[in-house]
Amino acid sequence: MVKTKSKIIQRDAVVVKFVGDSGDGMQLTGTLFSDTAALAGLDLATFPDYPAEIRAPHNTIAGVSGFQVHVGSKKIETTGDQCDVLVAMNPASLKSNLKWAKTGATLIVDENAFDDAALKKSGYTENPLDNGSLSGYNLVKAPITQLTREAVKPLGIDNKSADRSKNMFALGMMYHLFDWDFKSTFDFFEKKFKNKPEVISANKAVLQAGLNYAETMEALSSVFQVSKAKIAPGRYRNITGNIATAWGLLAASERSGRPLFLGSYPITPATEILIELAKHKSLGAKVFQAEDEIAGITSAIGASYTGSMAVTTTSGPGLSLKSEAIGLAVMTELPLVIVNVQRGGPSTGLPTKSEQSDLYQALFGRNGEAPVIVVAASTSANCFYYAYMAAKLAMEHMTPVILLTDGYLGNGSQLFRIPKVADLPAIKPPIAKANDPDYKPYRRDPATLARQWALPGTEGLRHRVGGLEKEDVFGNVSTDPLNHQKMVDLREAKVQKVADFIPEQEITGEKQGDLLVVSWGGTLGPVLEAVEEIQAEGKSVSHAHFNYIMPLPKNTAKIFDSYKKILVCELNSGQFVNYLRMTHPAHQYLQYNKVQGLPFTVSELTKVINQTLEEK
């Protein structure tokens, strides 16, 4: 075969999406692709798109599994609205994902997979590869199945086993397209299949075949060149939000000297945190898979009383079940981190999709006056930092903290600059001293209003806590009306005082101007990118992205004063904007909301922001 000479296209970012049937190994392909990109020095963000069903029928739309990777030499804030390259292993995956491909995108498809049966199952009435319907794209019809089988025939591998390596053929084609070294992927094969040399050789042969094939393809004659990203020097790794959350909690436990206890019940998309923490018994983490969410949180409250850094992890419906117990933690004034990896609701809702619709629940979802600290992570990588800070605040202020992340942050991955635990802020829980003659269960530190943490086993500190209202200072059960008022006020003031200990809100852009775009939590990427795009056009727009929700940073009102318009964008029907209307009623707020289980796209946001700027 004749090699065609490659034309080089310079790009500062490229979005690639791998899609196929659940059994086609798209998650692994995407992961290997992104690992190689990272080694090539690019910044990146990834997002896996799993089917909701575990074993959906073969070749159906319901069974499509995808993995999107955004790589670039510029700072990558999102996983990308639409892709430049779509690799589709069967008709169903092409059908359901074509809408995510840019016009003119390169479509790489396994033409062997487009047989009558598969076309019918995916709902195509005719073969889209032949009827001209894809003429707006750079269509690459590759006989992937056939060439994969041929590549391993010399190794004596039958067709059925060969088909398991089809994804590596596609990956090989991608390595050509980006002109990347495949060494790290070969290393992976060696490690992963240590005891199966035939599998190692098969995968290597197929990957190489894919690469060779792509080199000869006219349609792939131009390759992308993405130069190295300007990334702060340091040691890096790839990390998903859920793993980052788990590690942030472990770091806080180590730094505070308080052993980690997790009480949790599996629920999508929060389960990975439970799975991850269960692996780390060597760090002393005690992980209790409880019989339900209520036992998850109440066991954590028990552990917290004994002096553990207690955590419970869940998603929306599970948070509902924990409501009463969060009230108990508020009343007993015990530290507790409640992680809610938000998903689409209400009820079982859209378990595999993402939303920001549990904000009201986090802020208000309890009986009685039960304020809690609410913190939200905004990138997969900073889940580490905010999990750490949630634990720090809980312990230093002796109160429950709800950490909001979401399915996109949790499952998505990003480059993560590895910190040193010693460089993280110190955590100093107010632990009571043995035989302290002045110890009283509800005596408070005037700076934080936190009570002390008196650990069972300590001499001279025996005391009881509980859900009944407690007498100020002494902690005995009290039904005195004025005492109740006082304790309600104190618990509220304690949470508000946290504002003295969190950073001031930062702004991207001018400190004053025509428009302030406000967002919070998991939408940072697309909102920031949209704002930066518009700023580059010279328009007066700034961005405030909130991570500390309850309490809000102290300078919030001052920031809001400095703009003519405020536009709050969020993936719900307006929960944060209404919270701002309640806490900062002096300002006028415009809002942009979407509740489709999908993230914002940069293009929809630029449109809305531009419209808002133009409206008089």
Contacts (Cβ under 8 Å, ≥6 apart) of 19: 26, 49, 64, 65, 66, 67, 86, 87, 88, 89, 93, 94, 96, 97
| Residue 336 binds to another protein (criterion: CB under 8 A) | no
Please report whether residue 190 would count as binding another protein according to CB under 8 A.
no
Q: Does 266 bind another protein (CB under 8 A)?
A: no
- 442 lines the binding site for another protein (CB under 8 A): no
- Token pair in block for residue 222: 């131009």
Instruction: Give me the least distance between CB of 180 and another protein, in Å please.
Output: 14
Cα–Cα distance for residue pair 107/90, rounded to 1 Å: 12
SS3 569: strand
- Shortest Cβ 464–another protein spacing (Å): 4
Element (H, E) at 255: helix 241-256
Residue 437 makes contact with another protein by CB under 8 A: no
Q: Which amino acid is at 233?
A: P
Does 367 participate in binding another protein (rule CB under 8 A)? no
**247 near another protein, rule: CB under 8 A:** yes
Q: Is 473 in the site for another protein (CB under 8 A)?
A: no
Distance CA 249, CA 241 (A): 12
Does position 431 interact with another protein (CB under 8 A)? The reply is: no
Work out whether 463 is an interface residue with another protein (CB under 8 A): yes
Our finding on whether 420 is near another protein (CB under 8 A) is: yes
DSSP 350-414: BTTS---TTHHHHHH-SSSS---EEEE--STTTHHHHHHHHHHHHHHHTSEEEEEEEHHHHH-EE
44 scored as a contact of another protein (CB under 8 A): no
Tell me the C-alpha distance between 457 and 31, whole Å: 48
325 binds another protein (CB under 8 A): yes
Q: Which of 88, 251, 487, 559 binds another protein (CB under 8 A)?
A: 251
Establish if 288 lies at the interface with another protein (CB under 8 A): yes
Determine, following the binding rule CB under 8 A, whether residue 259 of this chain makes contact with another protein: yes
Contact 52, 351 (CB under 8 A): yes
Encoded amino acid at 252, one letter:
A
Residues 203-242 that bind another protein (CB under 8 A): 231-238
> Would you say 288 or 408 has its CB closer to another protein?
288
Q: Which of 25, 66, 128, 263 binds another protein (CB under 8 A)?
A: 263
Residue 294 CB neighbours (<10 A):
18
CB of 237 to another protein, least distance (A): 4
Question: Per rule CB under 8 A, is residue 461 in the interface with another protein?
Answer: yes
- What is the spatial distance between Cα 240 and Cα 547, in angstroms, rounded to a whole number? 18
Name the minimum Å distance from CB 305 to another protein.
6
Q: What binding mask, one character per residue, do residues 368-407 give for another protein by CB under 8 A, x or -? A: ----------------------------------------
Q: Which of 310, 495, 531, 566 binds another protein (CB under 8 A)?
A: 310
Cβ–Cβ < 8 Å for 326, 388: no
Closest alpha carbon to 300 in 244, 347, 339 = 339
Q: Check residue 432 for interaction with another protein (CB under 8 A).
A: no
Give the Cα separation of 405 and 392 in Å (integer). 17
Total residues binding another protein (CB under 8 A): 66
Using CB under 8 A as the binding rule, whether residue 418 contacts another protein is answered as: yes
Asked if 295 touches another protein (CB under 8 A), the answer is: yes
- Judging by beta carbons within 10 Å of its beta carbon (0-12, 13-18, 19+), is residue 604 exposed, middle or buried? middle
Question: What are the structure tokens assigned to 228, written together?
Answer: 């190295």
144-152, 157-165, 293-301, 507-515 -> range binding another protein (CB under 8 A): 293-301
Nearer to another protein, 274 or 310 (CB): 310
Residue from 58, 75, 280, 554 touching another protein (CB under 8 A): that is 280
- Closest by Cα among 177, 32, 178, 166 to 111: 166
For residue 472, what are its two tokens?
């100020």
Cα(522)–Cα(520) distance, rounded to whole angstroms? 7
Residue 472, interface with another protein (CB under 8 A)? no
- Contact status: 467 vs another protein (CB under 8 A): yes
Which span sits near another protein by CB under 8 A: 163-171, 213-221, 320-328, 509-517? 320-328
CB 235 within 8 A of CB 409: no
Stretch that binds another protein, among 95-103, 132-140, 303-311, 557-565 (CB under 8 A): 303-311
- Positions in the binding site for another protein (CB under 8 A): 35, 38-39, 41, 231-238, 247, 250-251, 254, 259, 261, 263, 280-284, 286, 288, 290-292, 294-295, 298-308, 310, 324-325, 327-328, 332, 418-421, 456-459, 461-468, 476-477
